[in-house]
Amino acid sequence: MKHSLLSLALVTALGSFTGAAQAQQPVKIGADLEQKVIEWRRDLHQHPELSNREFRTAKVITEHLKELGLEVQTGVAHTGVVGLLKGVKPGPTIALRADMDALPVTELTDVPFASKAVSEYRGKEVGVMHACGHDLHVAMLMGAAEKLTAMRDQLAGNVVFIFQPAEEGAPAGEEGGAELMLKEGLFKQYQPEAVFGIHVWSAGNTGEIGYREGPLMASSDRFEINVKGRQTHGSRPWGGVDPIVAAGQIISNTQSIVSRQVDITKAPAVVSFGIVEGGVRNNIIPDEVYLEGTIRNFDMDNRAQIFENLKATAEHTAKASGAEAHVHIDEGYPVTINNPELTRKMLPTMQRVAGADNVKVNALVTGAEDFSFYALEVPGLFVFLGITPEGQNPAEAPSNHSPYFYADEDALKTGTELYVNWVFDYAKLN
């Protein structure tokens, strides 16, 4: 009898352990849905559209979401589409985001569905390509919407599917992207508790997930400095004020902002000049020199300090030469910050979906993302999904924005399942 009771207890314990293990298994998508996601991706890849011009893309998304029976809102921030899925059980509302726009890049890959599209960009005819993988983002989120809709009876809470235009930046003179969606009241209307996003990444092998608590991607800000002097003959520099010399000193002196004036133990930063324009002839000292550059940074307080110090350095340096400096800073995307608590909670989900060995802490990325605007409003989690085939060195793969950018479509399954499992696991933990 004692032996029998022990055996029964052991069987019961093993059964409970097995049940718990099964409960931890991630939700998978079937082969049919995976193939749909691949087909959507290829169709979108063949028909890329530039920022704020994603009309066909929006139509494809809208038709799909309406077929699923979701509540659909169109024309958000020009061409954006938002779908709402309501679960049958009470629970939190979370948002999943995919960006839609392509780049003015002429595709040079040899895939059979390569883009032949052309469009106008800054007054010139250009090739158009999904050289950053936004076609994969849209396809994965369309797949997640289909899977989650099919499992609505198990869903606690609501899911907001955000298909966002103009992540690469709105055309000159226009607003767009995440900032405009929020300005139009996206989060006030749907009130998500958290927001999730995925970006495909050539710097990782297929199916790998790169994550990081806190700052992940840099802020990106553009600055312009007009240095005004007084034109004179090059043989008589004392007869005027030389803005070229003043501009050179400004370029040199601003390098001390990061190295000497900002606490770089908090986070790294970069101040770089990309444009220096001035003068028309070798023996004429001009009236004016134009400078333009970028600021990249991973701390919002440091960002504000860099703005202040750049302005002061340029103005005082110019004044020391008798010139004037007029500084304009065009604030772009803030730092993309992953909420630490949300990241820690969702780490097991990522490990179950991709495998623990495939989930790695990502290095800081000096590129920028307008997902950052969402993550300043509610807790956010943004991760990278590797798309460089196994056996190929990601460090040697064509990077995002390259005309040779290539994505292994096997990663689509991982990304789609990650969206789906984030939804279910967040509801369980909150």
Q: Which residues are catalytic?
A: 333, 409
> Residue for token digits 């992953």?
338
Instruction: Return the structure tokens found at 243.
Output: 């803005």
CA distance 229 to 222: 23
Ramachandran region of residue 191, left (φ > 0), alpha (ψ -120 to 50) or beta? left
Q: How far apart are CA 83 and CA 86, in angstroms?
A: 10
Residues constituting the chain: 430
Q: How far apart are CA 211 and CA 196, in angstroms?
A: 12
Residues 159, 309: Cα–Cα separation, whole Å: 43
CA distance 230 to 323: 8
Q: Are 51 and 168 spatial neighbours (Cβ–Cβ below 8 Å)?
A: yes
- Nearest CA to 106 among 368, 397, 405? 405
Count helices and strands (H / E) in the chain.
11, 18
Which phi-psi region, left, alpha or beta, contains residue 279 (left: φ > 0; alpha: ψ -120 to 50)? left
Q: What are the structure tokens assigned to 195, written together?
A: 């927001």
Q: Give Dmax over CA atoms of the chain in angstroms.
A: 112
Describe the crossing of helices 300-320 and 243-256 by its angle, rounded to 10 degrees: 150
Contact (CB, 8 A) for 201 and 400: yes
Angle CA 193–197–198, to nearest 5: 160
